[in-house]
Amino acid sequence: MISIATWNINSVRLRMPQVERFLAAEAPDVLCLQEIKTVAELFPYEAFARAGYTHHAVHGQKGYHGVATVSRIPLREVSRHDWQANGEARHVGVELADTGIIIENVYIPAGGDEPDREVNPKFGQKLDFLARMTDWAAAIDQPTLIVGDFNIAPLESDVWNHKGLLKVVSHTPLEVDTLARFQAAHGWVDLGRQLIPAPERYYSWWSYRAKDWREGDRGRRLDHMWASPSLAQKARSHRVVEVTRDWEQCSDHVPLITEFDL
């Protein structure tokens, strides 16, 4: 069995104590991080090495964005796609040794506040990012896992209030349709909903604005793990580690972990 985790950490250097606590408790073989907010030179390699994660691929950026994949299994970096078309560090792809599996780690833009590309260019950038990903996905020819912060909650049961969020960026019909085109381009299997079927409660993000995130439970499923059909058949379990949202100086996202029988 191989376990792979994904987590928007919202600054890896600030939250390294939480990452170490998570690794000690859950011990995934591979951890994909988004929004690391640091250049590669300042990434906390030594702390990861102490925890047993000596293999890494880091695509960093000062103060913003950035993705990193760390592993106990040897890996090699195979790609860095600029789907944002402006040089932002939002993707890194790796191949896991002796498995033939590619892991794509992506941080899709949030898209700003207004779901209208004419008044909000960030929303248009998000849609264009997804369009470039869709073109890429159509040509995939080996078992692939794509994980990360997609910044879209596609299903009605992926948000705490479907009708109330239809005009809120991350759950608008246009974003959902655009993400569906990406899914169809490769036949991606949404592992979360394969193993935690809708309409079961399943969120991965709660706003910092909530005084008590558990009591209000105004969550959204913004983080995802999707697999090629052949790889999805090997997924055995999937869980959401909500307890991290209670930790001091926590990220507003929580980790997801999928186990594969490889």
Domain count for the chain, please give it. 1
Residues of the chain with pLDDT under 70: none
Q: Is residue 105 within 8 Å of 93, Cβ to Cβ?
A: yes
Q: 3-state DSSP call for residue 140?
A: coil
pLDDT given at position 203: 98
Could you tell me the CATH number of the domain that includes residue 110?
A: 3.60.10.10
Exposure string over 177-191, b if 16+ CB within 10 A, otherwise e: ebbeebbebbebbbb
pLDDT given at position 100: 87
Q: Is residue 160 within 8 Å of 203, Cβ to Cβ?
A: yes
Distance, CA of 111 to chain centre: 16
The whole domain housing 62 covers: 2-260
11 burial via Cβ count (<10 Å: 0-12, 13-18, 19+): middle
Structure tokens at 228: 């090629």
pLDDT given at position 199: 97
